[in-house]
Structure 1
């Protein structure tokens, strides 16, 4: 999620909260002046401080409800995740900005709770009351999400929200201690915020000091294998091997912009009104006043998808062509296919070239390129996943037996609601490669298997 998207969500629900508070304020004052003061003769006056903080707290609660419920559909019926800190494991293995953003947002979303509640009522000056109220509020949100399907009941969310309230309470008390010139006590109050900052800073520092990145194929949860029947057609080797690690040609945003502009000029596209939406790992480029063309470009390895949206016109139909015609058409895009590619027709008008880990000197070429060819004799869609990797160095990897042991222990990613496997048959095991979060092409073991009657490939990290 980009910063612009986050600020947009906050802005939208800020206005919703502001309007709601105004409406509630009008109703409240009508009740106070018309009924309490006029009809019942009440004399008690409302403290301005409580009115101010009451309005702020009401607006804050409305914003939280908007973000947690109104910002998503009811697509998660009955979903629960009670695995503590699993969100950190997911964020670590994928190492995407989006995952870390959600963790931090869940923490800091409750910071205002810890600040405003003690200001609203003297009872919540005591930590136990504020923390108890925060726990009750976040538990209510998670339970309502579980019942309605507007989210997942997550143990980590309870932890993050409560931590946020503790940080907010600590900030408020710390500022009070500073005002009273009690510096040591102020530092203790700020310690929850400092510990979170140090923890996240330590994670980022450790990650950037690592030579290689993290692999998203590492499982967050173990697969249940205790009652699985495991068979195989292969004999496993117990010797460790030495194999190369490669590096993808990663791009900066500036380099990606230059590539896309050069690509566009070949097609005589007007780049003066080019719209660019940048994410952590990719950029989305739009051309034309009516967004007639589009390119998704991955910074991590230089692969991209191109679409000419005239392909959706009623008079445009997919059409077959021979390989030489398609190659000639691809030269207009500046695309030269690697040698020894395997060409195939996928379906009418859809064609694909594939290279399977071809080593040339100190480089490895891997991937595929798919195109759609249309009745007007042009290619209007390209999915270019061909990547040329440069060798970094040789590394020693686990033996096949060690990889198999991790399979038996359930240390592999298995996409199924039921994490329990009954039967597993391994047909083949080989060293393959997987792109990590830093753009390194790491060696992994690929086990071609049949799991409970379904064919799939299981991956185990090699390093």
Structure 2
């Protein structure tokens, strides 16, 4: 999610909360000043402070409800994620901005809760009251999401929301305490915030200092292998071996911009009004004119998808391989020799290369092209990447990788995370792109799991 989108969501629900607050304020004015004070002659008075912080807290709650429910459709169909810290493991293994955003936004969303409650009512200056109220509020949100399908019930959301409320409580109580007791005696209140900052800083520092990135194939929680019947057709080696590790042609944002500009200019397109709606991990570029063109460019490995939207006005057309190659030269695309070519369907063709080594480079992946009856290419999905060798690394033995399967340390996408039968046909060394753009060796166990073909990937390093 882009920063602009986050700001846009906050702005949208801020105005929603403001409108709702004005409406509620009018209702409150009528109820309190006219009905209660004049007609019923009530004597209880509300201070300006209570009115101010009461209004702020009400507006905040409306914003949270808007962001939590109104910002998404009812398409999650409920569900529960009870594995504690699974969202942190997922964010760590993928190390994508999007996953970390969800973790930290769930924390920051409840910081105002912990700040406003003690200001609204003196009883909430006791930690147990604020934490209890935060727990009740976040539990209500998660339960409602589960019941309505507007999300899933996640233990991590409860934890992150409570942590945010505790941080907010510490900030406001520490600020109040400084005036009366001084900085040293108020340090305790700021410790939750400092602890989060220190742990986060240490984690990110460790990640950026280590040589290779993380692999998203590492599971967030284990697969249940308790009752699994396992058979295997191959003899597994028990000795460790070495394998090369490669580096993808990763791009900075500036380098990606340069690539896309060059791509469009080769097509003689005017790039002066090119739109750039980039995300942290990929660039999204548009040219909108009489014809519209779009490129999604992935920074990590330089793969991209190109679409000429005039394809909706034309029909797919078959063409021979050599003519198609000639058409691709104007896009700056050269097909490696010995790439396997096939027709996918009318007008759709694909070249694939399976881990071809040329000196210190590895070529791997596929290139899909869409050809139309006006004799132009209008769609390209280029996942054909040339990787440069970094060095040889020691990888675990086949027996060690197999032991991880027995322990359930692999991704298995099923509801109950349980396997009944597993048959392994063969094993080989494959490759998988890590979060830093390194193409790491992984063991590929080609298997049949509960009657369905599946390749189980286990990290080699």
Contact 1:273 1:289 in 2 (8 A): no
Q: Report the CA distance between 1:279 and its aligned residue.
A: 1.4
Please state whether the residue corresponding to 1:287 is helix, strand or coil.
strand
Q: Which runs of 5+ in 1 are unaligned?
A: none
What CA distance in whole angstroms lies between the structure 1 residues aligned with 2:379 and 2:318?
A: 14
Deviation string 1:271-328 (CA, Å, 9 cap, x unpaired) is: 0000011212210000124670000111111111100000011xx1111111011011
The residue aligned with 1:393 is 391
The residue aligned with 1:354 is 352
The residue aligned with 2:122 is 122
Q: Report the CA distance between 1:233 and its aligned residue.
A: 1.7
Q: Report the CA distance between 1:240 and its aligned residue.
A: 1.1
Decide whether aligned partners of structure 1 residues 111 and 290 sit closer, same or farther in structure 2, where only a CA change above 3 A counts: farther
Contact 2:97 2:281 in 1 (8 A): no
What CA distance in whole angstroms lies between the structure 1 residues aligned with 2:47 and 2:153?
A: 38
1:401-412 matches, cutoff 5 A: 401-412=399-410
The residue aligned with 1:94 is 94
Please state whether the residue corresponding to 1:278 is helix, strand or coil.
coil
Decide whether aligned partners of structure 1 residues 19 and 193 sit closer, same or farther in structure 2, where only a CA change above 3 A counts: same
Contact 1:248 1:388 in 2 (8 A): yes
Q: Aligned pairs, how many? A: 461
What CA distance in whole angstroms lies between the structure 1 residues aligned with 2:111 and 2:48?
A: 23
Deviation string 1:329-382 (CA, Å, 9 cap, x unpaired) is: 111111111121111111111100111111111111111111011111111000
The residue aligned with 2:201 is 201
Single out whichever of 443-452 and 282-291 deviates more from structure 2: 282-291
What CA distance in whole angstroms lies between the structure 1 residues aligned with 2:281 and 2:221?
A: 25
Partner of residue 442 from structure 1, selected from 440, 443, 449: 440
Q: Report the CA distance between 1:125 and its aligned residue.
A: 1.3
User: RMSD value over aligned CA atoms?
Assistant: 1.0
Deviation string 1:381-435 (CA, Å, 9 cap, x unpaired) is: 0011111111111011011111111111111111122311111111110000000
Q: Which runs of 5+ in 2 are unaligned?
A: none
Q: Given the alignment of the two structures, is residue 345 of structure 1 paired with residue 343 of structure 2, yes or no?
A: yes
The residue aligned with 2:174 is 174
The residue aligned with 2:246 is 246
Q: Report the CA distance between 1:45 and its aligned residue.
A: 2.7
What CA distance in whole angstroms lies between the structure 2 residues aligned with 1:177 and 1:218?
A: 45
Q: Given the alignment of the two structures, is residue 149 of structure 1 paired with residue 145 of structure 2, yes or no?
A: no
The residue aligned with 2:287 is 287
Q: TM-score, normalized by length of structure 2?
A: 0.98
What CA distance in whole angstroms lies between the structure 1 residues aligned with 2:151 and 2:61?
A: 17
Deviation string 1:158-197 (CA, Å, 9 cap, x unpaired) is: 1111111111111001111222351112211111100011
